[in-house]
Every structure is written in structure tokens, then in C-alpha cells.
């Protein structure tokens, strides 16, 4: 069965993907790969913006990122649970889209939704490959699971060079006007609009420098890598 997507990014909230791996999705799209985004919640518990506003913003951001597919599940915002029912909701998506690569949030973090989404997503990827779990679609297990680690103090396994896509990534984030435009509501919690560009570009610059490029996004993989040719290894040692 032909896959609908090559890469599926799964995140807890609308705008998480744009912050952590939006540049990578843009780069993969430029290589001719089909990308998609699954948001687990709809944003009904957010300090700013309604679920309907977040949906419209997510659609706009997805178009900027060139995503072929984007949907949101109905998991409670702020109360994501790693339950069998929720795993099956993701399994149905995985079996429909059949991605080879899944990007998840890193498994540690400040927000419980983020680290719960990481474990939930991983276990759903495993369950999706079990033939005796019936969902009406044939089993499918992604080949590679990666973790977007931008907001975690951990050394990344690798960096993706997003230099040509940094402005477009910023546009996708700023599509969330309800979240990132200056407003009195939540002003003590949210970064002022005039600082967002500086902060996000500085983070991308930091990770880019680790890999010898201008702007980058960091990822972690749990398994070891395999090298065929020592002469082709990227990034200078000194």
C-alpha cells in the first residue's frame, strides 16, 4: 500500500510543530517529500484564542509549511492522557497516512502535555504495527521515530540545516495571531511580539552553529547511527 505521507509530525498543541520542527518540514518538502501534521488537542484551554481561531491559524500555518495533510484530534487540552483509547486514535491516523518517519516531542519538558504526547505517540507507533489490533485498516509501523528537542536542555543527535527556510518558518509561527500578537490577556506569560523573532532566530542560530551552519533545528534519536563512509561524515571536528 502506497503511503500518503513520508513524514508525520505529531505534537500536543497547534503551533508546537511550527516552533520545534517547522523549518525541517519545509526543507523536507523542498526535497519532494510529503509532510503532514497531527495536533492532538484543539486549544480550548489556552489563555489566548478560541479553538476555532486556533484551527484557522493552524490551517494557514500548514499551508505556509507546505503540509499535504493536517488535522487535530479531540484530546483535552491540558489533560492529554496516555490511554488505550487515545493510542488507537493515533493508530487510525498512522494506518491511514502510513508515514515512514514520525517526529514527536522530546520525552521530557515543562508542559505535561508535551512529554505525555511523546510517550503516547511512541506507543501508538508500536501498536499500529500489531496485526491483531483491528481498526479497519492494515497494520503500519513507521520506520523511524525522531524527537524534536529544541526546547530541551539535551545534546541533540543531529541538526537539520534550515537556513534557506528560516523566514518561512517564522511566517508559519506568526500565522498564530491569537497567540503571538501583543494583547493584554496573558501578557505576563507570553513573549512580546517584538521579541519573538529575536528569540526564535537566536535559538536556531545556536543550534546551527553546533553543526557549522547558520540556522538549525535539533533532533534526538534513541538508536545508534550507522556510517558507511568515514570520508563523508559532515561537520568539522576542529
**C-alpha span between 191 and 197 (Å, rounded):** 10
pLDDT higher than 90, residue 2 = no
Q: Does residue 46 lie within any of the structural domains?
A: yes
Q: What is the pLDDT of residue 53?
A: 87
Structural domain including 113 reads 7-222
Q: Does residue 115 lie within any of the structural domains?
A: yes
Q: Does residue 127 lie within any of the structural domains?
A: yes
**C-alpha span between 182 and 116 (Å, rounded):** 30
**C-alpha span between 169 and 83 (Å, rounded):** 33
pTM of the model: 0.92
- Number of domains present in the structure of the chain: 1
pLDDT higher than 80, residue 44 = no
Q: Does residue 227 lie within any of the structural domains?
A: no
Q: Does residue 95 lie within any of the structural domains?
A: yes
Q: Does residue 19 lie within any of the structural domains?
A: yes
Neighbours of 79 (CB within 10 A): 11
Q: Does residue 234 lie within any of the structural domains?
A: no
| CATH classification at residue 183 | 3.40.50.10320
Average pLDDT along the chain: 92
pLDDT higher than 90, residue 169 = yes
pLDDT higher than 50, residue 222 = yes
Encode pLDDT of 124-143 as tens digits.
999 999 999 999 999 999 99
Q: Does residue 230 lie within any of the structural domains?
A: no
Degrees to nearest 5, angle at CA 145 with 142 and 148: 145
Dihedral angle sign, alpha carbons of residues 62, 68, 74, 79: negative
Amino acid at each position: 500500500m502506497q503511503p500518503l505521507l513520508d513524514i508525520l509530525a505529531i505534537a500536543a498543541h497547534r503551533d508546537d510543530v511550527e516552533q520545534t520542527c517547522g523549518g525541517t518540514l519545509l526543507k523536507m518538502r523542498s526535497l519532494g517529500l510529503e509532510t503532514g501534521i497531527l495536533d492532538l488537542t484543539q486549544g480550548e484551554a489556552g489563555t489566548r484564542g478560541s479553538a476555532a481561531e486556533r484551527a484557522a491559524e493552524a490551517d494557514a500555518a500548514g499551508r505556509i509549511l507546505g503540509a499535504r495533510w493536517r488535522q487535530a484530534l479531540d484530546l483535552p487540552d491540558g489533560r492529554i492522557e496516555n490511554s488505550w483509547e487515545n493510542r488507537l486514535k493515533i493508530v487510525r491516523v498512522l494506518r491511514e497516512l502510513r508515514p515512514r518517519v514520525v517526529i514527536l516531542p522530546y520525552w521530557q519538558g515543562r508542559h505535561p502535555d508535551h512529554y505525555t504526547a511523546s510517550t503516547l505517540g511512541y506507543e501508538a507507533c508500536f501498536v499500529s504495527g500489531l496485526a491483531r489490533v483491528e481498526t479497519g485498516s492494515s497494520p503500519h509501523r513507521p520506520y523511524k521515530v525522531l524527537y524534536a528537542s529544541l526546547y530541551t536542555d539535551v545534546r541533540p543527535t543531529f541538526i537539520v540545516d534550515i537556513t534557506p527556510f528560516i523566514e518561512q518558518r517564522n511566517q508559519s509561527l506568526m500565522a498564530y495571531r491569537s497567540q503571538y500578537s501583543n494583547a493584554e490577556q496573558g501578557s505576563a506569560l507570553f513573549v512580546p511580539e517584538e521579541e519573538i523573532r529575536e528569540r526564535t532566530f537566536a535559538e536556531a542560530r545556536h543550534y546551527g552553529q553546533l553543526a557549522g551552519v547558520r540556522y538549525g533545528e535539533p533532533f534526538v534519536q534513541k538508536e545508534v547511527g550507522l556510517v558507511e563512509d568515514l570520508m563523508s561524515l559532515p561537520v568539522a571536528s576542529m
